[in-house]
Amino acid sequence: MKKITITLAALMEITGTAYGAWDTSTRIDGVHLSSCTSKYIDVNAIESLNYEDNAWKLVMGRKNGWGGSSCTLTMTGECSKALIGIMGKEDFDSASIDGTLTSSISCACNSNSDCVTGFKCSPAGSGQKYGFCTQISNFCTTDSQCDNDKGYVCVNKACTQKCTINTKPDDTGWEIAARDTSDYYNFPMIEKSSTYKCSSAGRWTGTTAYRCAAHYYGAPTSASSKCSRCPDYPGPAEAPAGSTKITDCYYPRGTEYNDSTGAFKIIGGDCHHD
């Protein structure tokens, strides 16, 4: 373990870079900070913390594919102790490490292989030692990561437009698919909704979903399916559209009704069926 401190004057002479109010730029090498964790870093292989490019960067060393959008540390008490042991309390405090390393620290890199899938290494700037891992434009692994409504699907890990937007059929909102013909009221019983997605073959493909209408419950798969009506409806019993079980049926709070035993009012909250 070694600590190398480069004076501000030497840095400015070498790189021409000003470092604001900082008095020194510190590089800590050869350290395995197993008590410090980060989303993108293998915590058993953190090799250095650098302030050489006018910003702190966490550097992995020789292990490929570790950098993503942010290598921010989760600063636990043990991690703080480890850093203080490496840097010294004065440097730790003067560098505001607790605040700096826990807020949007970019992952350092020397090549694309230093970055995780979907990121590339932006070249180091003038006077900088390390580049930054940045997200590749339009990178994807699944269609869900692309703007499918505009005809984009994931092709060879890139969002690619395969369908023409002006040929896309209109999605439909929820509409009546079937009515309850079992009695006089003929209430809406099943609703349907159609959406269209662009396929990798370059065609808009429609999918229709079904649900029970308000006051009914069940799991319809077509317009010819059946939903069960909530008990006592028409009457006080209710259930939102899309309900799947009888316990979704309820009497709303404040409902007043009468039966052979007397008059009642529901207080407190909605009263759901068992």
Domains of the chain, by residue range, sit at 2-135, 169-272
Are the beta carbons of 213 and 189 closer than 8 angstroms? yes
Structure tokens that stand for 65 in this block: 């594919």
* Rounded Cα gap, residues 79 and 87, in angstroms: 12
pTM above 0.75?
Answer: no
DSSP-derived letter for residue 171 is P
| Sign of the dihedral through C-alpha 230, 233, 236, 242 | positive
Tens-digit pLDDT string for the chain (274 aa): 333 332 222 222 223 333 333 333 455 544 556 677 777 765 555 666 666 665 667 776 656 677 787 878 778 888 888 888 877 888 788 777 777 777 777 788 888 888 888 888 988 887 777 888 888 888 998 888 899 999 999 998 899 999 999 999 999 999 999 999 987 889 999 999 999 999 989 999 999 999 999 999 999 999 999 999 998 766 768 999 999 999 999 988 888 877 788 888 888 888 888 8
| Residue whose structure tokens are 């396929």 | 199
Q: Which helix (H) or strand (E) holds 80?
A: helix 77-87
* Rounded Cα gap, residues 146 and 148, in angstroms: 6
For 110-203, where are the E strands, in sequence order?
Answer: 119-122, 131-135, 152-155, 158-161, 175-179, 188-198
Helix (H, G, I), strand (E, B) or coil at 64: coil
Q: What is the pLDDT of residue 11?
A: 25
